[in-house]
A and B are shown apart, each in its own frame.
Chain A
């Protein structure tokens, strides 16, 4: 997906007569909104030492590639980065790997950035597995200037995968909502919080953003018409359409894994009940039949089941129903208030929010055994969402009076905090992989 598409001129939203700004352009946010501070706490049981040198001619490009790669790897908590810049290596070098072994490195990265005549950049890199004494190969990525950050993230992902065996998520995006100065923004940023762009600015609240599985669209709930309606917006073009604006309230959109359907919460027949509809808004079919509140649908990654929140038993608990309908089965049994289910793409875990001693805390359930544990020790958590490699959860919380975004590993040990000084940020959702599998 080309990030440079987003530089075209803004498109007005389809909902007319409303003071909204919707667009695929990089709207000039105040720089303060876009500036995330990232603070990492905790480290992995073992940290892999990786030596990284500044890429040759990096200073001739607008992005400090090696610094982005270093920040990505360090943010994961699984790597310790050693500076190899003094050796002035690039991807064509033939380093003496035993030398690097004695410097304490398990791996070595070097590369170059070359501006091309057509304005694009040729980014080349090479990775050596020092521990195994092996050349891990490298790549050449030719990208426009706007995609240089993404190129650095892809390099970090490659290193991450080669050294840990898991697919990296540095080249993914997050969406979230911020509120400042009486305005609400829907925002899309890199997974490190950098490069934030605002697909929507509204004087009215925006809640419950949800990425389409192809990463090209966002569904969300907007109050711009004076009541909650569900909007689907193409992130690149800014085109918007209301997919659910029925009588009463419309909320909690959840895309099916194949992107063809949305599970939604509607009150058009009274109460709050789950319905399924085509992603275009047609073919509305009721899924739950209770006199209670049924809401917050979340699909299992195989598309066969839908987890949701219901207070049919008294307080809100998480249930599971077959996507084709049927009798819901209760899933959460500890605690009196369990909401906001999120399913890991590998099908093994459910993250959710549980009320504990009056506070709200992200928990993790092993779906095979039903065992649960808290992932945080904060009291105001909301909106957990899995990274596409199922190894991290992003969520929002409140610390020192400020709403911030956090990521955590599934063992709770490594956390990163994304915070800005001037805006409350909330409701994060982690987007899908953007590149097809090589």
Chain B
């Protein structure tokens, strides 16, 4: 896709740059600059730039905007929490993760072709198959949070690893807390 960057029309450069970011599978669907400009971004300076984009829709500074936008998307994806932790015996997405859920929902509603898999996990205590089912509950809780925000159900698959893929080994409260989680991964 790199060759597309040599073309200097703003829209195609925008598409090429997004493809080169390699984090979003924007399969050629054009991402309209003004749509992005309207959305609040987690990084404060991006919102400043977006109002400039409105005012300078056809100015050469749009190229700069284009270069910034993929970086913003990188920061968006990079800054977005992908791991959501759960309390013991709980399947409720805590308030502290609602910002992350929000961010993922926005990414996904902005690009209907994008898919994610949500992997649910438990700590090591208890039976393997029952823990597999508990992990599934956690994954589905995150999936539900996303679909409630408008993400289409076929963009999210909820699966479980139960206790089989701990993030941290050990039999301590700290380790257990780090393993009770759901992870959102791009497909």
Binding site for B on A (CB under 8 A): 205, 207-208, 223, 226-228, 247-249, 251-252, 265, 267, 270-272, 293, 295-296, 309, 311, 316, 337, 339-340, 353, 355, 360, 382-383, 427
B window 128-145: CB within 8 A of A: 128-130, 132-134, 136-137, 140
Question: Using Cβ atoms and an 8 Å threshold, which residues of chain B touch A339?
Answer: 126-127, 129-130
Q: Please give the distance in Å from B173's CB to the nearest CB on chain A.
A: 13
- Given A227-B159, A248-B158, A267-B158: A272 and B136 within 8 A (CB)? yes
- A163 vs B132: C-alpha distance in the bound complex, in angstroms? 45
Number of A-B residue pairs at CB separation under 8 A? 86
Establish whether residues A427 and B128, one from each chain, have CB atoms under 8 Å apart when the complex forms: yes
Min CB gap B121→A, angstroms: 12
Question: Interface residues of B, CB < 8 Å — how many?
Answer: 21
Q: Which one of B132, B140, B164, B165 has the greatest number of beta carbons of chain A within 10 Å?
A: B132
How long is the Cα–Cα vector from A146 to B122 in the complex, in angstroms? 43
Q: Are A340 and B160 in contact (CB under 8 A)?
A: no
Contact of A337 among B126, B134, B159 (CB under 8 A): B126
17 A-B pairs with CB atoms under 8 Å apart are A207-B164, A223-B161, A223-B164, A226-B159, A227-B117, A227-B119, A227-B160, A248-B158, A267-B159, A272-B132, A293-B134, A293-B137, A340-B127, A353-B127, A382-B127, A382-B128, A427-B128
Q: Which residues of A contact B161 (CB under 8 A)?
A: 205, 223, 228
Residue among A205, A272, A340 with max Cβ neighbours from chain B (10 Å) = A272
Give Cα A206–Cα B130 distance, bound, in whole angstroms.
15
In the bound assembly, the distance between CA atoms of A388 and B135 in angstroms comes to: 33
Top 6 closest pairs, chain A to chain B, by CB = A227-B159, A272-B133, A205-B164, A293-B133, A339-B127, A249-B160
A248 touches B128 (CB 8 A): no
A207's closest neighbor in chain B, by CB?
B128
Query: Do residues B164 and A340 form an inter-chain contact, with CB atoms below 8 A?
Result: no
Please state if A248 and B127 are interface contacts (CB–CB under 8 Å).
Answer: no
Cβ of B157 within 8 Å of any chain A Cβ, yes or no, is yes
20 extra A-B contacts, CB within 8 A, seeds A205-B161, A205-B164, A340-B127: A207-B162, A223-B161, A226-B117, A228-B132, A228-B161, A247-B157, A248-B136, A248-B159, A249-B160, A251-B129, A252-B132, A265-B132, A267-B160, A271-B137, A272-B133, A272-B136, A295-B132, A309-B129, A340-B129, A355-B126
Neighbour of A296 across the interface among B130, B159, B162, B164, CB < 8 A: B130
Q: Is the CB of B165 within 8 A of A205?
A: yes
* Chain A residues with CB under 8 A of B133: 265, 272, 293, 295
Which residues does B use to contact A, with CB under 8 Å?
117, 119, 126-130, 132-134, 136-137, 140, 157-162, 164-165
Give the CA-CA distance A203 to B18 in the complex, in Å. Answer: 34
Query: Mostly helix, strand, loop or mixed at chain A's interface?
Result: strand
Residues of A within 8 A of B119 (CB): 227
* Chain B contacts for A251, CB-based, 8 A: 129, 132
**A360 proximity list for chain B (CB < 8 A):** 126-127
Q: Which residue of A lies closest to B134 (CB)?
A: A293
CA of A247 to CA of B136 in the docked complex: distance in angstroms? 12
- A162-B126 Cα distance, complex, nearest whole Å: 42
> Which residues of chain A are within 8 angstroms of B130 by Cβ–Cβ distance?
293, 295-296, 309, 311, 316, 339
**Given the complex of chains A and B, what is the CA–CA distance between A337 and B89 in angstroms?**
13
Write out the residue numbers on chain B whose beta carbons fall within 8 Å of the beta carbon of A265: 129, 132-133
Residues of A contacting B134 with CB < 8 Å? 293
Which residues does chain A contribute within 8 Å of B128, judged by CB atoms?
Answer: 207-208, 382-383, 427
- Report Cα–Cα, A415/B164, bound state, in Å: 28
Chain A proximity of B137: nearest CB distance (Å): 7
Cβ contact within 8 Å between A208 and B140: no
A247 to B137, CA, bound (A): 14
Residue ID in chain A nearest B164 by CB atoms: A205
A62 and B49 CA atoms in complex are apart in Å by: 81
When distances are taken between beta carbons in the complex, the residues of chain B under 8 Å from A249 are: 132, 136, 159-160
Q: How far is the CA of A214 from the CA of B126 in the complex (A)?
A: 31
Contacts of B137 in A (CB 8 A): 271-272, 293
CB-CB < 8 A to B126: which residues of A?
337, 339, 355, 360
Residues of A within 8 A of B132 (CB): 207, 228, 249, 251-252, 265, 272, 295
Complex CA distance for A208 and B130, rounded to whole angstroms: 11
Residues of B within 8 A of A355 (CB): 126
- Within the complex, the shortest CB–CB distance from B90 to chain A, in Å, comes to 14
Q: Are B164 and A248 in contact (CB under 8 A)?
A: no
A397 to chain B minimum Cβ distance, whole angstroms, is: 13
Residues of B within 8 A of A271 (CB): 136-137, 140
Q: Is the CB of B165 within 8 A of A252?
A: no
A337 to B127: give the CA distance in the assembly, Å.
10
Q: Are A208 and B157 in contact (CB under 8 A)?
A: no
Question: How far is the CB of B78 from the nearest CB of chain A, in Å?
Answer: 22
- Scoring B119, B136, B161, B162 by chain A CB atoms within 10 A of each residue's CB, the highest score goes to B136
Q: List the B side residues contacting A247 at CB < 8 Å.
A: 157
Which residues of A are found within 8 Å of B136, using beta-carbon distances?
A: 248-249, 267, 271-272
What distance in Å separates the Cβ of A332 from its nearest Cβ neighbour in chain B? 13
In the docked arrangement, what's the CA distance between A226 and B162, Å?
Answer: 13
**Docked complex Cα distance between A162 and B180 (Å):** 53
User: Which residue from A267, A296, A311 sits with its C-beta under 8 Å from B129?
Assistant: A296
Q: Report if A270-B140 is in contact (Cβ < 8 Å); known contacts: A247-B157, A248-B159, A293-B133.
A: yes
